[in-house]
Amino acid sequence: MKKKGGGGPPPKQKGPQTFTPKTEGKAFGKEGALQTVEDQLTDNEVERGAFGGRAGKYYKIELKEGERIRIDMVSRDFDSYLIVTDDKGKSLAQDDDSGGDLNARINFTAPAKGTYKIIATSFGAGMTGSYKLTVQAGDGKELAPFPKEATKGAKTLEVKSQGLPFNDNGEAKLVADRLTEADLAGGLLSNRAAKTHKLELKANEIVKIDLMSDDFDAYLYLTDAKGRILAEDDDGGDGLDSRLYFKAPAAGSYQLVASSLEPRKYGIYRLSVQPATEKDLKTGAAGGLKIEVGQKLEMAGKTLEGKAADLKDYKGKVVLVDFWATWCPPCRAEMPNMQKLYEKYNKRGFEILGVSLDRDKAALEEFIAERKISWTNIHDERGGLGNQFGVRFIPTCVLLDREGRVISTRARGPELERLLAEQFSGKE
């Protein structure tokens, strides 16, 4: 589960945007033809103005006229956002997710000889953590969405159980297997059962991978032969199943790691690998959430008590729709902020509609009672609403205006507080 904050891309200004962060990042090092740096964003680098409360650091680079480079920003802590400016801070290029998953990539051609700035920041406010920045000559087309440099320092899985080999069924590779207590793994997978399945791929081969189970909430990892994580997914498939689209950066052996999202969950699962296309890679891997800013959202479900809950009943209210679960640490961490803002704005027309993906009804009821959560929660135990709206990460926090239209799909943390202050400005 990727750590994410609220907000959206840096706010637009009239005319050219200007970004002038005060903090210069570490100096680039050399790794063959690459220039690389590992750094981090902290609360000390938070900027105002065009940054809108996001942290940012800049890196100077000298380029010749017409020189073309590819810049990659990779982070497992937050949603990366890259900006290239001239020496005075005027924006020349920006990118959010072109590097695969939530990583940023820019292919940039220098319009003139001189000094340029590469600015590393985040998609939303309140996001901090470590990242790696790489620069290489040209477009780097020989590298796929998960370049070799992105795996350096990547987290490694420790899995002792080898799963059954795939069976070929036409173009698809299929396997049915089972997770048991004997498959409990260590390291990052502590208290979760897992099995690996080896997969041979050709260079630039694109595949769609599905992990499906009726017994547990599936979680799928794809690693290189050394166990370094290249991609992972929770609910990208149907219901609580996992789905990944992947383009192999080189010919060789890869590993699919079948696991569960929650600790000590066991049962039967099915794993399939099918050919996919560049179009699938773009629309499937990057598609994700099926909720857009400006969209009028319609949603209905059943509460824990079995009563109907419908967004239509909230007309005239500012509503936060919160996709969450009790077993999700970032969801739990956001609760105090939500409760504080609910108490502040509820009498002025602010409501929260939770959509819990918990399967364990008793655990959900206990959590709500302990935290004294007073707003309505839909119990989406089979993930129907999550799948309908393409929710791949939780918490996913969607803020609606009084007409039921989406204001933000990343409304949490300081960003939620800012958005609510705007909605209730001057309204007592």
pLDDT score recorded for residue 140:
44
Q: How do beta strands 376-379 and 350-356 pair?
A: parallel
Alpha helices in 316-383 (DSSP H): 329-345, 361-371
Residue owning tokens 């239209």: 405
Q: What is the pLDDT of residue 288?
A: 59
**pLDDT for the residue numbered 106:** 87
CA atoms within 13 A on the CB side of 192: 22
CA angle 195, 198, 201 (to 5 degrees): 145
Which one-letter DSSP state was computed for residue 311? G
Q: Per-residue pLDDT tens for 34-69?
A: 788 999 998 888 887 777 778 899 999 998 888 888
pLDDT given for residue 350 in this prediction: 96
The pLDDT value recorded for residue 142 is 34
Stretches in the chain below the pLDDT threshold 50: 1-7, 12-15, 140-153, 285-287
The pLDDT tens digits for 183-209 are 998 877 878 899 999 999 998 899 999
Percent of the chain scoring above 70 in pLDDT: 86
DSSP 142: T
Contact 44, 23 (CB under 8 A): yes
* Separation between Cα atoms, residue 107 and residue 96, nearest integer Å: 13
Which pLDDT score, from 0 to 100, does residue 153 have? Answer: 45
Measured CA to CA, the distance from residue 272 to residue 167 in angstroms comes to 9
In this prediction, residue 14 carries a pLDDT of 44
Helix H or strand E segment including 65? none
**d(C-alpha 94, C-alpha 67), whole Å:** 18
Q: How far is 316 from 307, CA to CA, in rounded Å?
A: 21
| Residue at token pair 């001057």 | 426
Which residues have CB under 8 Å from 254's CB, separation 6+? 198, 199, 200, 201, 222, 223, 224, 225, 230, 248
What are the chain's domains?
29-150 (2.60.120.380), 167-283 (2.60.120.380), 300-423 (3.40.30.10)
pTM over 0.85: no
**What is the rounded distance in angstroms from the CA atom of residue 26 to the CA atom of residue 58?**
9
Report how far residue 31's alpha carbon sits from residue 134's, in angstroms, rounded to the nearest whole number.
Answer: 10
